Chain A
């Protein structure tokens, strides 16, 4: 097992790396270690993918370097693991607030190359939604939270495990 400890001193522009290889001791009664890929179910397209880089349609193969969080089809009823067996950083997770605004039904107009209202009016979606496309007016319709949305969509994070 390798623990990584790296510290960036202000202004130095170089990581001070100390990689420590520590003898691994199997936790009593614990599950055997598996490569992360082995733990992943098939994704929506059916491929076993360790990262969204792999499912990115164009990003180079080097982008599949497995430093990013794995893409996993999480069952909606998944419950958090107990403290100590779940990443510390996830402790502060709280339920996302519901979106402030729901978009009207729309469809993509292949001729005009924009989204239009799906009511036969042909009106562009950008013209139909009141107000500017501010961050709280999230496009999500599945309970997505405004805080994680900006201008209808999250910032594009290639390894976002839950792209919206």
Chain B
């Protein structure tokens, strides 16, 4: 019985997981799909209703029928020989994805997470809908590409409004990386919305007053809450702005929030996620539409000592149990 970790070669959390699984005397295999096809090969044969065979690297053979759990951490994509033409590489990529990826997806194992569910879950508008349906509080939110919609939405809110990205908050431009964080909408913004029509933008009622941020890490049926206290105005608005201004502490999760998150995870088909909330001074938790099915947790574990790696390892071991 073994666990397969799919992760890049540089992944500190995966390093810790290898150790945790080894300590639990579970056979663990770690591969990066970027090794395919140069350092990783597949030999899988359909027998009855399942694939049997192996994945092979220069250093190990991974019997598919031995696998009981797969931690889909965040592997890099396939890397093909440079001498292939662009057409050849595209063909090879698609065949590898549908072939190797298809075999992995059809294995009767515990996926943490199933990559398809993970990909489906990253749409924030979908997260907000699902969270509301699951009973979580969500802020009024607008997705729009017209100036009139933005002005209407902002005017309708009792308090301030923020804007933030649906996806990554960084771009590469002018020979460097640029970032943008959640920010308040000022009157000057509303006066000049040129470019709003070029794509979809997200606006959300700002949760104010705010006691602190909270990240809730879900691992199987267990949930871990962390208060994130920021000491600067910028970090209070978006804690990613300055990690040096943050302080963390484990906190209890209100029962209704825990239940709602459980329902949300079930609706999205996820076993693991890092979800972000704003906690009001009254103790009310508001889901702000940031559920990351591949979210980071290692830094919270390091800061607070909460054994997240061990919990995740136990979950994978359960999947690996005969």
Contact = CB atoms under 8 A, between A and B. Distances in A.
Contacts of B145: 3-5
A89 interface: yes
Interface in A46-78: 46-48, 53, 55-63, 67-69, 74, 76-78
A6 B146 CA distance: 11
Interface in B123-181: 123, 125, 128-133, 137-146, 149, 153, 163, 165, 167-181
Given A46-B85, A69-B167, A126-B12, A63 B116 contact: yes
A162 B168 contact: yes
Contact residues of A: prevailing secondary structure: loop
A105 B98 CA distance: 35
Given A96-B170, A157-B167, A147 B243 contact: yes
A32 interface: no
A59 B119 CA distance: 6
Given A46-B90, A63-B119, A69-B168, A134 B74 contact: no
Given A46-B84, A113-B30, A153 B201 contact: no
Nearest to B30: A113
Contacts of A133: 12-13, 298-299, 302
B72 interface: yes
Contact residues of B: prevailing secondary structure: mixed
Interface in B217-274: 240-244, 246, 274
Contact of A83 (B144, B195, B240, B242): B195
Contacts, number: 318
Among B120, B177, B199, chain A packs the most CB atoms within 10 A around the CB of B177
Chain A interface size range: 35 or more
Contacts of A148: 168-170, 177, 179, 240
B303 A132 contact: yes
Contacts of A159: 122, 167-168
B318 interface: no
Nearest to A113: B30
A148 to B, nearest CB: 5
B171 A153 contact: no
B89 interface: yes
B11 interface: yes
A151 B18 CA distance: 17
Given A45-B78, A88-B198, A132-B303, A96 B179 contact: yes
Interface in A106-139: 106, 108, 110-115, 124-126, 132-136, 139
Interface string A20-51: 00000000000000000000001001111000
Chain B interface size range: 35 or more
B38 to A, nearest CB: 13
B296 A162 contact: no
Contacts of B311: none
Interface of A: 3-15, 42, 45-48, 53, 55-63, 67-69, 74, 76-80, 83-96, 103, 106, 108, 110-115, 124-126, 132-136, 139, 142-148, 150-162
17 contacts: A5-B146, A6-B144, A12-B132, A46-B85, A46-B89, A55-B93, A57-B77, A90-B195, A93-B180, A110-B57, A110-B60, A114-B19, A133-B299, A134-B243, A147-B243, A150-B296, A153-B13
Interface of B: 5-6, 9-16, 18-19, 28-30, 33, 36, 57-60, 72-80, 84-86, 88-90, 93-94, 96-98, 100-101, 104-105, 115-116, 118-120, 122-123, 125, 128-133, 137-146, 149, 153, 163, 165, 167-181, 183, 192-201, 205, 240-244, 246, 274, 292-300, 302-303
